[in-house]
């Protein structure tokens, strides 16, 4: 009779474990202890690539710092480790550098990690990292919960790519994404885009804005700025920031500056570096603007520039969210943005807070900038509009998604 009782108890444990995604108990572990590990101890893995100086890296640092402050045990599985943010991982994060500097090359290493940590949920910070994690989990035959953060409007980003390349990216997403435990989109536009191209049900996607606004931004903005244009006070100073790439479309902003200067004195500072630098410098010379455009490169502290600028301009062809736009608004700086997919339109309430300009349209961008210079929106209104993008609030929503019980 006792043997029969033990038999049923063992089966009940196996059934319960299967239901909640736990590998059946091994010697020395009890079901109760495993449930505690699964639900009470907040241990999470993050799969990310630190490969540059963009908003994704800055967002991740904010998220990791907030989680550590909230007592979360974090493993950062790092694919690439270059750029100014790579060495600024918050103390308390357990950094594990993967052996191969390409997502797909680390499938075996990730599978091994899953086998060693079968109860730990994983957040993949980018699309390819998420797809790699899903394949690795299948290889490991574990039940780790996997959530993929999508930070760009993929359909627009791929618009100029070849048809075979677009087909492959969408086909891969359509095959793999349904096996994820959830998709985290950083804006409604990104959510609608992924739902369309991957054919995902609405309940599988959760919109969580980036953890952007932190007390450190305000503190950093108060540091003295040594750029002469922001000190002498003569003429209007436009500021832009981002990688010098096709996506950010600074060429349209430079052409808009030429039109703005037909009616008022204005100069432009572009913070950031990238492959389009020479092309942008050539365009500035062609338009006779080389003396009123400065591209000083990557700025460790862009906020001291923002705080002194007359208007911050986002001229992108596409975005996922638009971190720098939210950061400028949090400082009460007047802003103008293109109405690109996706993020800025949501942030600026479809243009009711501040003007939106047509993508790739220098004349319309100049009109919007001139309008803001003449009649800037209220600083308080802009700050209130991005209050929900505070780091602590966003980090909590991520945790609520990763640990639904």
pLDDT, one tens digit per residue, over 178-215 is 999 999 999 999 999 999 999 999 899 999 999 999 98
pLDDT at 350 over 90: yes
pLDDT-derived band of residue 404, with 50, 70 and 90 as boundaries? confident
- Grouping H, G, I as helix, E, B as strand and the rest as coil, residue 341 is coil
Residue 17: the pLDDT is 39
User: What does pLDDT average to over the chain?
Assistant: 88
Residue 83: the pLDDT is 67
Quote the percentage of the chain above a pLDDT of 90: 75
Residue 8: the pLDDT is 37
Residue 132: the pLDDT is 96
Residue 53: the pLDDT is 62
User: Using one digit for the tens of pLDDT, what is the confidence trace for 19-34?
Assistant: 333 333 333 333 333 3
Q: What angle do CA 250, 385, 392 make, to 5 degrees?
A: 100
**Considering only 36-50, 87-101, 232-246, which range has the smallest mean pLDDT?**
36-50
Q: 233 or 39, which is more confident?
A: 233
Q: At what angle are helices 127-140 and 163-176 packed, to 10 degrees?
A: 50
Strands, E, within 284-392: which ranges? 293-297, 311-314, 335-338, 356-357
Residue 405: the pLDDT is 62
pTM: 0.81
Residue 22: the pLDDT is 34
User: Using one digit for the tens of pLDDT, what is the confidence trace for 308-329?
Assistant: 999 999 999 999 899 999 999 9
Per the structure block, which two tokens stand in for 3?
Answer: 């043997």
pLDDT-derived band of residue 54, with 50, 70 and 90 as boundaries? low
Q: 11 or 173, which is more confident?
A: 173
CA-nearest of 182, 103, 186 to 145 is: 182
Residue 35: the pLDDT is 33
pLDDT at 246 over 70: yes
pLDDT-derived band of residue 52, with 50, 70 and 90 as boundaries? low
Residue 36: the pLDDT is 37
342 cis-preceded (ω within 30 degrees of 0): yes
pLDDT at 82 over 80: no
pLDDT at 112 over 60: yes
pLDDT-derived band of residue 160, with 50, 70 and 90 as boundaries? confident
Q: Is 28 left (phi over 0), alpha (psi -120 to 50) or beta?
A: left
Q: What is the chain's alpha carbon radius of gyration, rounded to the nearest angstrom?
A: 24
Residue 15: the pLDDT is 35
Please compute the mean of the pLDDT values over residues 161-167 and round it to a whole number.
Answer: 92
Please compute the mean of the pLDDT values over residues 143-153 and round it to a whole number.
Answer: 94
Residue 19: the pLDDT is 33
Q: How far apart are CA 22 and CA 393, in angstroms?
A: 29
Beginning with the edge strand found earlier in the chain, give each strand of the sheet holding 356-357 in spatial order: 293-297, 266-271, 236-241, 311-314, 335-338, 356-357
User: Using one digit for the tens of pLDDT, what is the confidence trace for 359-374?
Assistant: 999 999 999 999 999 9
pLDDT-derived band of residue 58, with 50, 70 and 90 as boundaries? confident
Residue 81: the pLDDT is 74
Q: 267 or 154, which is more confident?
A: 267
The answer to whether the beta carbons of residues 317 and 337 sit under 8 Å apart is: no
Residue 202: the pLDDT is 87
Which residue is it, tokens 């911050």?
Answer: 312
């Amino acid at each position: 009779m006792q043997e029969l009782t033990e038999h049923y108890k063992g089966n009940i444990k196996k059934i319960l474990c299967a239901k909640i995604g736990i590998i059946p108990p091994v010697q020395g572990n009890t079901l109760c202890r495993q449930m505690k590990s699964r639900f009470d101890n907040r241990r999470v893995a993050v799969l990310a690539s630190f490969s540059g100086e963009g908003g994704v890296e800055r967002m991740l640092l904010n998220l990791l710092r907030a989680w550590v402050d909230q007592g979360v045990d974090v493993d950062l599985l790092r694919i690439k480790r270059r750029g100014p943010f790579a060495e600024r991982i918050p103390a308390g994060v357990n950094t594990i550098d993967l052996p191969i500097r390409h997502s797909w090359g680390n499938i075996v290493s990730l599978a091994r990690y899953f086998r060693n940590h079968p109860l730990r949920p994983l957040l993949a910070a980018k699309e390819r990292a998420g797809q790699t994690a899903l394949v690795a989990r299948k290889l490991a035959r574990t039940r780790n919960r996997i959530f993929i953060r999508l930070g760009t409007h993929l359909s627009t980003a791929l618009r100029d790519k070849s048809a075979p390349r677009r087909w492959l990216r969408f086909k891969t997403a359509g095959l793999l994404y349904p096996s994820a435990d959830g998709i985290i989109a950083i804006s409604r536009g990104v959510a609608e885009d992924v739902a369309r191209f991957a054919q995902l049900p609405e309940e599988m996607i959760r919109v969580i804005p980036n953890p952007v606004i932190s007390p450190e931004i305000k503190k950093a903005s108060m540091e003295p700025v040594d750029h002469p244009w922001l000190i002498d006070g003569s003429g209007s100073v436009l500021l832009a920031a981002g990688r010098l790439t096709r996506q950010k479309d600074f060429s349209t902003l430079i052409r808009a500056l030429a039109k703005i200067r037909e009616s008022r004195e204005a100069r432009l500072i572009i913070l950031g570096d990238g492959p389009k630098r020479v092309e942008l410098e050539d365009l500035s010379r062609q338009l006779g603007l080389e003396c009123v455009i400065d591209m000083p490169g990557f700025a460790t502290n862009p906020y001291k520039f923002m705080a002194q600028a007359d208007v911050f301009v986002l001229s992108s062809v596409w975005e996922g969210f638009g971190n720098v736009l939210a950061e400028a608004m949090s400082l009460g700086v007047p802003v103008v943005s293109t109405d690109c997919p996706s993020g800025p339109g949501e942030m600026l309430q479809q243009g009711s807070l501040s003007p939106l300009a047509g993508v790739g349209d220098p004349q319309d961008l100049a009109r919007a900038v001139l309008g803001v210079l003449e009649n800037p929106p209220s600083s308080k209104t802009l700050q209130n509009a991005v209050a929900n993008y505070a780091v602590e609030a966003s980090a909590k929503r991520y945790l609520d998604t990763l640990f639904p019980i």
